[in-house]
Amino acid sequence: MKDGTSPILDRNGDRPVLITGGAGFVGTNLASRLARQGRKVIVYDNLSRAGVERNLTWLKATHGDMVEAEVADIRDGERLAAAVARAGSVFHFAAQVAVTTSLTDPVHDFEVNALGTLRLLEVVRAQQTPPTVLFSSTNKVYGALADLELEEGPASYQPRDPVQALGVTEDRPLDFHSPYGCSKGAADQYVVDYARSYGLPAAVLRMSCIYGPHQFGTEDQGWVAHFLIAAGKGDTITLYGTGKQVRDILHVDDLVDAFLLAEERMPDLRGQAFNMGGGAENALSLRTVLNIIEELQGAAPAVSFGPWRTGDQPWYVANSARFRQATGWSPKVEARDGIGRLHRWLTSGQIAPASSAALAESR
């Protein structure tokens, strides 16, 4: 894969890259990497999530005309069609991202995640030369993993079976839980099927827990950043359940590497879905992450406990062997080092306030 500042041309020549949800956490990191490589980017975002205007301001200030803002909703068919018609590649990150929100308003969740994705695929299908589509899915498509036999240790859960402890593979049956799991799962399968039924150059990456700079985490989504932000402010962190839940965490730099490799290898990856995470070597419990934060800050965060939440998996680790074998990718940022990097970013004063001037051109 090409890197540094060497320009990479899209499969459709020098047409810009479209990132839906491009002012979000992952979209911002991808847009910045692409702009550094000399590729023009259309950031398509409705700016509804807290913090994303700051990300867009930072992108414009850092990369200037290499980044174009299109402030629009994924459900706006006319604006979406115009953006896709210009694009050489599409990274589809626009989504309703929280299980809790999906339980409160499942219709909105469906309209954004499932119907929004279907509309995007239809627009892509209508192009004379359809652009590459990479879709960001979720580990929630596998449900609660209730059949796993887990052992409860002092700080974490762990599968009894050492083979299962290597992580969930793509061979596991889909089992959508929560409206969010249903909407993202439907979108996931539509992307896979449009590649199969219509030959679209499209593939899916099913995310585990991603973290890194430009993530304004909340209690509902982006938990590593949320823990760091709350601890830095002296707020009490609520652990739902025991706090022994385990996730494999993946630094966003490694995820961007994976997405760009998937784009580059699209002829071989078309129509496939891949699990994407830090793997067993980067699997930590919530309690372990709190211990790391205590080491970073010199004081233990305040913690309270609440009941288990719907759709929460006691243990989830992604087995990314299939993607590694297909592309040669592997994560490079070790979990403790990555959490330290995010802590330094959050405390470094690099978070820019939203600038109306930087956004005015796109409204």
If you write DSSP's letter for every residue of 173-235 in order, what string do you get?
A: PP---HHHHHHHHHHHHHHHHHHHHH---EEEEEE-EEE-TT----SSS-HHHHHHHHHHHTP
Q: What's the mean pLDDT in 89-114?
A: 96
pLDDT band at 352 (very low <50, low <70, confident <90, very high): low
Backbone angles phi, psi at 346, to 5 degrees: -65, -30
Scanning the structure block, which residue is given the tokens 């047409």?
15
Q: Which two tokens stand for residue 336?
A: 């403790």
Whole-angstrom Cα distance, residue 59 to residue 358? 9
Query: Tens of pLDDT along 41-51?
Result: 999 999 998 88
- How would you label 335-355 residue by residue, b for 16+ Cβ within 10 Å and e otherwise? beebbebbbebbeeeeebeee
Looking at residue 357, its pLDDT comes to: 45
Catalytic amino acids? 180
**What pLDDT is recorded for position 323?**
98
- Domain residues of the chain, as ranges? 95-351
For the record, the structure tokens of 246 come out as 């385990």
pLDDT score at 221: 82
Q: Name beta bridge partners: 322.
A: none
Q: Is the pLDDT of residue 67 over 50?
A: yes
Which one is predicted more confidently, 311 or 117?
A: 117
| Assigned superfamily of 95-351 | NAD(P)-binding Rossmann-like Domain (3.40.50.720)
pLDDT recorded at residue 355: 52
Going by DSSP bridges, is the β-strand pair 202-207/273-276 parallel, antiparallel, or unpaired? parallel
Average pLDDT, the chain: 92
- Cα dihedral: 138, 84, 190, 205 (round 10): -30
268: exposed, middle or buried (Cβ count in 10 Å: 0-12, 13-18, 19+)? exposed
Whole-Å CA distances, 115 to 77, 104, 151, 170, 334: 11, 18, 39, 24, 37
Q: What is the pLDDT of residues 193-245, one digit of tens each?
A: 999 999 999 999 999 999 999 998 888 789 999 999 999 999 999 999 999 99
Q: What is the reported pLDDT for 14? A: 85
Average pLDDT of the residues in 162-191: 96
**In which band, very low, low, confident or very high, does the pLDDT at 310 lie, cut at 50, 70 and 90?**
confident
Between CA 35 and CA 53 the distance in angstroms is 18
Q: Measured between alpha carbons, how far is 15 from 232 in angstroms, rounded to an integer?
A: 42
pLDDT score at 80: 98
Residue 330 has pLDDT above 70, yes or no: yes
| 354, pLDDT greater than 80 | no
The full 3-state SS of 279-298, as one line of letters, equals: CHHHEEEHHHHHHHHHHHHC
Residue in 214, 209, 182, 223 with CA at minimum distance from that of residue 277: 209
Strands 132-138 and 209-211, by their bridges, are unpaired
**How many CA within 13 A on the CB side of residue 204?**
27
Report whether 204 contacts 191 (CB < 8 A). Answer: yes
Cα–Cα distance, 162 to 196 (Å, whole number)? 35
Q: How confident is the model at residue 40 (pLDDT cuts 50, 70, 90)?
A: very high
Q: What span, in angstroms and rounded, lies between the C-alpha atoms of 88 and 85? A: 9
Confidence of residue 7 (pLDDT cuts 50, 70, 90): very low
The band of 11, judged by pLDDT with boundaries at 50, 70 and 90, is: very low
Tokens 């990856």 locate to 269
Q: What is the mean pLDDT of residues 162-179?
A: 96
Structure tokens at 82: 């115009």
Statement: residue 25 has pLDDT above 90: yes
- What does the pLDDT read at residue 220? 79
Q: pLDDT digit string (tens) for 273-292?
A: 999 999 999 999 999 999 99
Q: Decide if pLDDT at 314 tops 90.
A: yes
